[in-house]
Structure formats: structure tokens, C-alpha cells
């Protein structure tokens, strides 16, 4: 049997053969070790949920589910034998990738819980099989040599680029991290897949060119220089082609865009390969030419209502995915290196600006891209990361974006600097009738997906932090537009709906048709008339001015003193007369006459305080008495005693009256006393550093002596003069220093840098 820790490609097993008990030794990976089992091909759930079709699907799917569960339960060697040598298994997996329902595909899952459960079981089992096939090391005992694993999956076509694309679009919902590890391991172990991807991208671009040709549009990028055929002008256009052909065309475009977006979102490393093929410019050009033509055909032609809604939903979904593909390519090839501050930041900045400049001719694409991912925010980010950015170039780009919005006839719902990367506003397929203008419509239309991409985000007033306001002319246009489609609604009811949904006519039509109005609107009378307009107050009654109600306020006064109003110089008035006019002085005379009379005493009658204090003669105020220092106790705190006066400074005999020895002793005593006083009273704000070092050294020595520290022996590295020989101590000390010098100072920079980098402290 299998030995531990031996790769599967080197492992040999011994098996009995025949009835006689003979044995033979075979490689672990050998066709004879494959179990004989026939895996059925997958069939999608029936769209018609009749009992017979449902029972047939459940019976067929039960066999597939049991076979896949049996496969996953096999040991490591048996599993790989079955995967490599069983062709029916590969046909089963390929059929599931080809026929499994995508997000927008109609299916009977919602009608039967049993069908939904069975589909869910098969979906999980297929994903687990692909995940196990992409793992070369399941455990320490069960693994395959990476080189052999790369050859097995590549030479046996276990994985190829179309399979990887289908795996991403089918299993990307909720499994993005696992899928990223899985695809990354495939591309890492077998780099040849990068070459296959490089050869696949021209085929994807050819898909866009084929769609344009089927629409009757000649791409400018695919000119071959060959003359057109005589019947080239007789090809069908989107307005004349059969309904089935138009449906196939829209399905083809929707499936292609969804698959590319899922692959780039899960495996961003492939963005560089797409960029090398100028995929971004081809995508924007295709968007500009194909999307308006297809939308026009779906809107103008008389299709069945359900078919028309389905086509519009798929076109809207394709628009959203194409814009997100462009953003993924720009983010991972330009924006991400700029944020990480790599060495190629300058070239990435220039590349990003060149891509934005290339978008300028594609007005529809540029406006839709800016609606989801604000270009102004990206340019602001560039200006922060790269201060030397050319302002003229950025201003030109921003003006081009504004021009694109005007050309397509769209109005911004957000300021140009707002960040829309969280996703665009959405609408359902019934917004088809609401988008009458060629360039109108909101990107990211509500897809109502049945699978992974289902998103419902209805913006109402106040959701974006601001209330939408429209002019009177725009409001009348919205009312007329909605009433043309829904004539049974009253203008009052339509106005209430517009106010509820931020004056977005598409959302109003969608929610009215699908009966998804909020309770506050649904309870209103749908035939409600438009409320009468309230007469606004006149401007004169609401104005506010600093000169209101003065003598010249002609709006509030009926009569004015016309004698005080004249134009130019007054008649019969001279400069001398103006200067001699003292009327203003006479007007002020009465004001100042009140200050002429000065009264020294004012008699107070019937004052009880006067009668009470006159007995003591204290009522009259003496102005000449100064009571400023009445509260201060002058001299109370002075040291008037003899002893206290002597305490200030001791009595000393003058030096002139001292005698020999006494004078010298007194001088010595004074010097000692001064030294002591200086030692004690000296200003220690800034002490002598030498003294501080001595004290610190003494404290350090005392502490070391307490701990039993033995100082190192004296170093003799310097030695004596050259030419006279060195002592043995000097030779030993120099040898010890040379051996240990990397332990300190700055000699081990490289070692420490390597240590930091290994621990992740320095980005490599």
C-alpha cells in the first residue's frame, strides 16, 4: 500500500489480480486503477415546472449528485486516477459549466423547493470537485510534486481559460477568497496559463467586434483594409433583425461582460495581461457604439412586454459590468500602485491620465463611468499622492467630464466630488419606457437578479444626505413624461411620488408598475389633482433693509416731506449760507441746558435717618477728612524690640578697631562662615556638570558594590608606540575587540536590517 510522505507521482502500489492471488505493482496514477463508473451529463432545471419534467430532472440530478459524492469520498490516489483517466467525469463537469443557470437566466428553482435543493447540492459538489482538482497538497502524506501537478492539469485539460472563466462566474458569489487561492495556485504552479490567457484576450475582443458587425456597425479599430463585400450593406441592423437573433445578441453580450468582470474581480493579477492588449480602449469604444443602438432597438420595436423587460434588464446589467470592468483595470494597474507608493508611481499617474483622456470622445461611457466611480475623486487622489501634477491637464479632464454629462442629457444626482464607488443607482427593466431620451437612463439599472448579483438599492430623498430640487420647467417636464406613460394618475399623486423618490421619474414609474410604493404614498388617491399654487407674498412685504420705516421709505409711507428731497444743489443756496446756518446748534441747545444748574445742597424732608443721627452730630459729611488709611495699622508689624533688631545681623567690631591676632581669627572665621553660607545658600538652579558626574559615578559605584558587581579589567588596546613591540595584554585585548566589535556601535547595520525585514517591519 501507499507509503507515508511519498508524492503521488512517485508512489507505487501492489494490487492482487485474478482469482489465484497473484499480485502486481503499478504506479499510483495508472489507467487500470480507475473505477468503471459512468458520470451523466448535466441538464438544467426545466423552465416549465410541470410534474413530469420536474420528476425527470430530479431523477437525473440524483444520479449526478450521488456520483459526485462518491468521487469526493475517494482517497487521494483513487480520486486523481478517476479525475485524470475518466472522460465521462470531465464531460459531466463541462456540461455543468456550460448549462448551469447564471444570475439572469430564468429557471424553475423558485417554483419547486425540491428542485432548488437538488440544484444547490450539485452546485456545491461540482465546486468541491474543482477545488480538490486545483489542490496539489491535501496533507503531509497526500500530495503531488508541484512540477508533475502542473503537467497533469495542463496536459490533461483539467483546467483551461474558458473553464476558469466559467468557474468564476458560477461560484464567485460567496467564494471569492477560495477561488482566488485556487486560481492563484493554478497560475503559480503552471505559468503556461498566462500564455493561454494572453492568446484568449484577442478572442474576447473579437466577440465585441462580432456583436458590432451583427448590429450593422463597423468598428473603427477593426479595419482590415479589405474592400467591403457587395452585400455588406444588406446586413440586418438591430431595428430589422429577427427577434430571436436580437435576443441571442443581447444574451451573448451580457454573458461575456459578466464572465470577464467575475474573473477580473476574483483574480486581479490578470488585469495587467488585459491592459497589454489595449482592452480598456476597445471596451469603451464598444460601449459607446453598441449600447445606444441596442437600447434604441429594444425601446422602439414592438416586442412582447415580458421579452422587452428581460432584454432591457440584460442590457442594463451589461452596461454596469462594462463600467466596473474598466474600473477594475484602472484600479489594479494604475490606482493601486499609486496608493502603495511603488517606484513606478510616476508612470502609473501618467498612464491613468492618458486613459481618462482616451475616454473623453466616448461621452456616454465617460458619463456612466463618472456616475459610478467619480473621476474627480481619482484626480484628487492623484494630486495628494503626486503634488507635481499638471493642473492644466486635470482641469481639461474635469471639463471634459462635465461636457460628457451635458452631451448625454443627464443630470448629476451627486456633486462631482462625491464618491460613487459604492455603486450606482438602479432601476428595473420596466424603466425601459421611462428612458425616452437617447442618452438618458441611470447606470447600474436594477437587475433583479435571481442569483449572486441580486441587489436592490432604491435611493429615496435624503439617502444621499441632500434633497433633490428641480426647477419649475423640469418639474413640468417630469409630470408630462410620466402622464404620457401612466395617464390614469393624477398630477397630485405624481408630485407626491416624485417628492418621495427625489424627483427620479424612472423610479416612480418602476415602483408604480410593480406596486412597490411605500405606505405613505400607496394610501393616497391615485387620481388626486394637483394642489393649487399658493400665492407667494410680494417681495416688498418680505424684504428687510436698514432704512425700513425711515422718513424716506416710499414703500411704507404714504406721504413724504418733499421739501427735504431735491436733486443736485438746492435752489438759491450758496456755500456761505450753508456755513452760516446754525440751526443744528439751536436744536442741541435745549439738550445741554439741563447741565447748566449746579445745586450744592438738596434738602431732604422727613428723612428718619437724619433725625436719628443728628443727636450725635454725625450726619453732615466732612469733605476735608481723609479716611484713606483708617483701616491700616501703621507700625503694628514692625520689629521694634532690641533683640529683634539684632537678629537681622549680628554685631561685628569694625576692622579698623580690631587688633592683630583677633583680626586674623575674625577674618578666618568670616571666610569659613562665608564658605559654609555659599555651600548652603548657593543657587543650585544650574549645578556644575562635573560635580553631577562625580556624584553619579559615586552612586553607581556604591550600587555596584552592593550587588557584587566586578568591573571589567582595564583595556590595553592602545598599547605602546609602533616599532617597539606590544605586550601580551595589548595583543589579547586587540584580538578580543576585533572579534566582538559587531556587538555594538554601528557595525551590524546589515544584520539588523535583515532581521527587521524578515519580521515584516520593513516592506520588501
Q: What is the C-alpha separation between 29 and 79, in angstroms, rounded?
A: 10
Strands 22-27 and 12-17: antiparallel
| CB of 133 closer than 8 Å to CB of 79 | no
CA dihedral sign of residues 155, 156, 161, 162: positive
33: helix, coil or strand? Answer: helix
Alpha-carbon Rg for the chain, nearest whole angstrom, is 48
454 pLDDT above the threshold of 70: no
Q: Using alpha carbons, select from 401, 479, 406 the residue that is nearest to residue 440.
A: 406
* Band (84; pLDDT cuts 50, 70, 90): very high
Q: What is the C-alpha separation between 515 and 452, in angstroms, rounded?
A: 25
pLDDT in tens, 535-552: 677 776 677 777 777 877
pLDDT in tens, 265-319: 999 999 999 999 999 999 999 999 999 999 888 888 888 888 888 888 899 999 9
| CB of 345 closer than 8 Å to CB of 481 | no
DSSP class per residue in 524-548 = S-TTPPPPPPPPPPPHHHH---TTT
C-alpha cell at position 365: 461611457
Q: Which of the pair, 596 or 89, is modelled with greater confidence?
A: 89
Give the H or E element holding residue 274. helix 271-276
DSSP class per residue in 429-466 = GGGGTT--STT-S-SS-----SSTT-------TTTTSS
Q: Using alpha carbons, select from 686, 687, 685, 667 the residue that is nearest to residue 675.
A: 667
pLDDT in tens, 38-75: 999 999 888 877 888 889 999 999 999 999 999 999 99
pLDDT in tens, 637-656: 555 555 555 555 566 667 66
Q: What is the C-alpha separation between 204 and 196, in angstroms, rounded?
A: 13
Question: What Cα–Cα distance (Å) separates residue 747 from each residue in 441, 488, 756?
Answer: 68, 89, 16
Q: What is the C-alpha separation between 152 and 144, in angstroms, rounded?
A: 10
| CB of 127 closer than 8 Å to CB of 171 | yes
172 pLDDT above the threshold of 50: yes
* Band (5; pLDDT cuts 50, 70, 90): confident
* Band (575; pLDDT cuts 50, 70, 90): confident
> What residue has cell string 482592452?
279
pTM above 0.75, yes or no: no
Q: What is the C-alpha separation between 236 and 297, in angstroms, rounded?
A: 12
pLDDT value for 613: 47
- Spell out the residues 6+ positions from residue 484 whose beta carbon is closer than 8 angstroms to its own: none
Q: What is the C-alpha separation between 636 and 644, in angstroms, rounded?
A: 14
Number of CB atoms found within 10 A of residue 237's CB: 12
- Percentage of residues in the chain with pLDDT exceeding 70? 74
Q: What are the beta bridge partners of residue 22? A: 17
Number of CB atoms found within 10 A of residue 523's CB: 8
Q: Using alpha carbons, select from 379, 360, 371, 378 the residue that is nearest to residue 285.
A: 360
486: helix, coil or strand? Answer: coil
Mean pLDDT computed over every residue of the chain:
78
pLDDT in tens, 495-515: 899 888 888 888 888 888 878
| CB of 530 closer than 8 Å to CB of 491 | yes
pLDDT value for 446: 35
3-state helix, strand, coil in the chain (%, to 5): 55, 0, 40
Q: Which of the pair, 195 or 627, is modelled with greater confidence?
A: 195
Spell out the alpha helix ranges (H) of 575-727.
Answer: 575-580, 583-593, 608-613, 642-648, 660-681, 689-707
> What residue has cell string 449528485?
65
Distance of CA 556 to the CA centre of its chain: 58
pLDDT value for 219: 59
Q: Using alpha carbons, select from 346, 365, 353 the residue that is nearest to residue 393.
A: 353
What b-and-e string marks burial along 387-404, b requiring 16 or more CB atoms within 10 Å of the CB? Answer: eebeeeebeebbebbeeb
Residue 335: DSSP 8-state: I
- Assign 3-class secondary structure to 124-178: HHHHHHHHHHCCCECCCCCECCHHHHHHHHHHCCCCCHHHHHHHHHHHCCCCHHH
- Spell out the residues 6+ positions from residue 169 whose beta carbon is closer than 8 angstroms to its own: 102, 258, 259, 262, 263
Mean pLDDT within 137-159: 91
Domain residue spans in the chain? Answer: 8-100+113-160, 196-219+236-408, 472-514
pLDDT value for 663: 61
338 pLDDT above the threshold of 60: yes
Diameter of the chain measured on Cα atoms:
153
pLDDT value for 125: 93
- CATH 1.10.8.10 for the 472-514 domain, yes or no: yes
pLDDT value for 88: 93
Most confident of 253-257, 582-586, 623-627: 253-257
Question: What Cα–Cα distance (Å) separates residue 266 from each residue in 157, 173, 178, 185, 579?
Answer: 21, 10, 9, 13, 92
| CB of 410 closer than 8 Å to CB of 364 | no
- Spell out the residues 6+ positions from residue 49 whose beta carbon is closer than 8 angstroms to its own: 108, 111, 112, 115
* Band (665; pLDDT cuts 50, 70, 90): low
> Residue 167: CA atoms inside 13 Å, Cβ hemisphere, count?
27
| CB of 99 closer than 8 Å to CB of 44 | yes
Q: Which of the pair, 374 or 229, is modelled with greater confidence?
A: 374
C-alpha cell at position 136: 496539489
Q: Which of the pair, 289 or 342, is modelled with greater confidence?
A: 289
Dihedral (C-alpha) 679, 681, 684, 690: value to the nearest 10 degrees?
Answer: -10
pLDDT value for 709: 78
Among the ranges given (220-229, 450-459, 541-550, 696-705), the one the predictor scored with the smallest mean pLDDT: 450-459
351: helix, coil or strand? Answer: helix
Q: Using alpha carbons, select from 248, 98, 217, 85 the residue that is nearest to residue 167.
A: 98
Q: What is the C-alpha separation between 633 and 273, in angstroms, rounded?
A: 100
Helix axes 305-330, 363-372, angle to 10 degrees: 80
Residue 638: DSSP 8-state: S
Q: What is the C-alpha separation between 519 and 517, in angstroms, rounded?
A: 7
500: helix, coil or strand? Answer: helix
Amino acid at each position: 500500500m501507499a507509503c507515508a510522505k511519498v508524492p503521488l507521482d512517485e508512489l507505487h502500489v501492489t494490487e492482487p489480480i485474478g482469482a489465484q492471488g497473484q499480485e502486481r505493482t503499478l504506479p499510483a496514477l495508472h489507467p487500470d486503477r480507475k473505477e468503471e463508473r459512468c458520470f451523466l451529463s448535466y441538464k438544467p432545471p426545466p423552465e416549465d415546472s410541470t410534474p413530469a419534467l420536474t420528476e425527470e430532472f430530479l431523477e437525473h440530478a440524483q444520479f449526478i449528485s450521488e456520483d459526485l459524492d462518491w468521487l469526493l469520498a475517494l482517497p487521494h490516489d483513487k480520486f486523481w486516477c478517476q479525475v485524470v483517466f475518466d472522460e465521462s467525469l470531465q464531460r459531466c463537469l463541462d456540461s455543468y459549466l456550460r448549462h448551469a443557470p447564471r444570475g439572469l437566466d430564468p429557471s424553475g428553482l423558485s417554483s419547486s423547493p425540491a428542485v432548488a435543493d437538488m440544484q444547490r447540492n450539485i452546485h456545491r459538489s461540482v465546486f468541491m470537485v474543482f477545488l480538490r482538482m486545483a489542490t496539489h497538497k491535501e496533507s503531509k502524506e497526500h500530495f503531488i510534486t508541484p512540477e508533475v501537478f502542473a503537467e497533469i492539469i495542463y496536459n490533461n485539460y483539467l483546467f483551461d481559460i474558458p473553464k476558469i472563466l466559467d468557474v468564476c462566474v458560477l461560484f464567485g458569489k460567496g467564494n471569492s477568497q477560495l477561488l482566488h487561492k485556487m486560481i492563484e495556485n493554478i497560475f503559480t504552479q503552471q505559468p503556461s496559463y498566462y500564455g493561454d490567457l494572453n492568446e484568449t484576450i484577442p478572442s474576447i475582443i473579437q466577440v465585441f467586434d462580432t456583436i458590432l458587425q451583427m448590429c450593422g456597425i463597423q468598428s473603427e479599430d477593426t479595419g482590415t483594409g479589405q474592400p467591403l463585400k457587395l452585400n455588406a450593406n444588406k446586413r440586418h441592423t438591430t431595428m430589422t433583425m429577427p427577434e430571436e437573433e436580437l435576443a441571442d445578441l443581447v444574451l451573448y453580450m451580457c454573458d461575456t461582460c459578466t464572465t470577464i468582470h467575475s474573473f477580473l474581480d476574483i483574480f486581479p493579477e490578470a488585469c495587467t495581461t488585459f491592459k497589454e492588449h489595449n482592452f480598456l480602449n476597445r471596451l469603451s469604444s464598444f460601449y459607446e457604439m453598441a449600447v445606444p443602438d441596442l437600447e434604441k432597438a429594444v425601446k422602439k420595436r414592438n416586442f412582447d412586454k415580458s421579452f422587452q423587460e428581460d432584454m432591457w434588464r440584460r442590457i442594463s446589467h451589461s452596461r454596469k459590468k462594462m463600467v466596473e470592468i474598466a474600473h477594475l483595470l484602472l484600479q489594479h494597474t494604475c490606482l493601486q500602485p499609486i496608493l502603495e507608493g511603488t517606484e513606478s508611481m510616476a508612470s502609473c499617474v501618467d498612464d491613468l491620465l492618458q486613459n481618462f483622456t482616451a475616454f473623453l470622445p466616448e461621452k456616454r461611457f465617460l458619463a456612466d463611468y463618472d456616475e459610478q466611480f467619480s473621476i474627480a475623486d481619482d484626480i484628487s487622489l492623484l494630486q495628494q499622492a503626486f503634488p507635481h501634477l499638471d493642473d492644466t491637464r486635470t482641469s481639461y479632464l474635469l471639463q471634459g467630464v462635465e461636457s460628457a454629462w451635458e452631451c448625454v442629457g443627464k443630470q448629476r444626482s451627486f456633486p462631482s466630488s462625491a464618491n460613487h464607488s459604492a455603486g450606482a443607482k438602479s432601476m428595473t427593466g420596466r424603466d425601459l419606457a421611462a428612458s425616452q431620451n437617447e442618452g438618458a437612463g441611470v447606470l447600474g439599472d436594477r437587475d433583479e437578479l435571481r442569483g449572486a448579483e441580486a441587489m436592490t438599492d432604491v435611493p429615496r430623498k435624503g439617502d444621499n444626505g441632500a434633497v433633490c430640487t428641480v426647477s419649475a420647467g423640469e418639474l413640468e417636464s417630469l409630470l408630462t413624461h410620466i402622464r404620457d406613460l401612466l395617464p390614469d394618475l393624477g398630477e397630485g399623486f405624481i408630485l407626491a411620488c416624485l417628492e418621495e423618490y427625489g424627483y427620479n421619474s424612472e423610479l416612480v414609474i418602476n415602483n408604480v408598475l410593480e406596486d412597490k410604493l411605500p405606505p405613505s404614498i400607496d394610501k393616497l388617491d391615485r387620481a388626486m389633482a394637483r394642489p393649487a399654487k399658493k400665492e407667494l407674498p410680494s417681495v416688498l412685504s418680505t424684504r428687510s433693509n436698514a432704512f425700513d420705516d425711515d422718513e424716506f421709505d416710499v414703500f411704507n409711507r404714504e406721504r413724504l416731506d418733499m421739501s427735504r428731497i431735491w436733486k443736485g444743489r438746492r435752489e438759491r443756496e450758496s456755500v456761505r449760507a450753508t456755513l452760516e446756518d446754525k440751526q443744528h446748534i439751536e436744536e442741541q441747545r435745549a439738550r445741554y441746558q439741563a447741565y447748566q444748574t449746579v445745586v450744592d445742597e438738596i434738602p431732604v424732608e422727613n428723612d428718619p435717618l437724619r433725625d436719628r443721627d443728628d443727636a450725635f452730630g454725625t450726619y453732615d459729611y466732612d469733605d476735608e477728612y481723609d479716611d484713606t488709611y483708617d483701616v491700616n495699622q501703621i507700625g503694628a508689624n514692625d520689629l521694634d524690640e532690641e533683640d529683634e533688631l539684632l537678629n537681622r545681623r549680628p554685631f561685628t567690631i569694625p576692622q579698623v578697631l580690631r587688633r592683630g591676632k583677633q583680626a586674623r581669627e575674625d577674618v578666618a572665621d568670616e571666610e569659613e562662615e562665608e564658605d559654609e553660607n555659599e555651600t548652603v545658600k548657593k543657587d543650585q538652579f544650574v549645578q556644575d556638570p562635573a560635580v553631577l558626574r562625580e556624584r553619579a559615578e559615586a552612586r553607581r559605584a556604591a550600587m555596584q558594590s552592593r550587588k557584587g558587581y566586578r568591573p571589567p579589567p582595564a583595556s590595553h588596546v592602545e598599547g605602546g608606540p609602533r616599532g617597539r613591540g606590544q605586550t601580551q595584554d595589548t595583543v589579547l585585548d586587540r584580538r578580543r575587540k576585533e572579534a566582538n566589535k559587531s556587538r555594538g556601535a554601528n557595525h551590524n547595520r546589515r544584520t539588523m536590517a535583515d532581521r527587521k525585514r524578515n519580521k515584516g517591519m520593513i516592506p520588501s
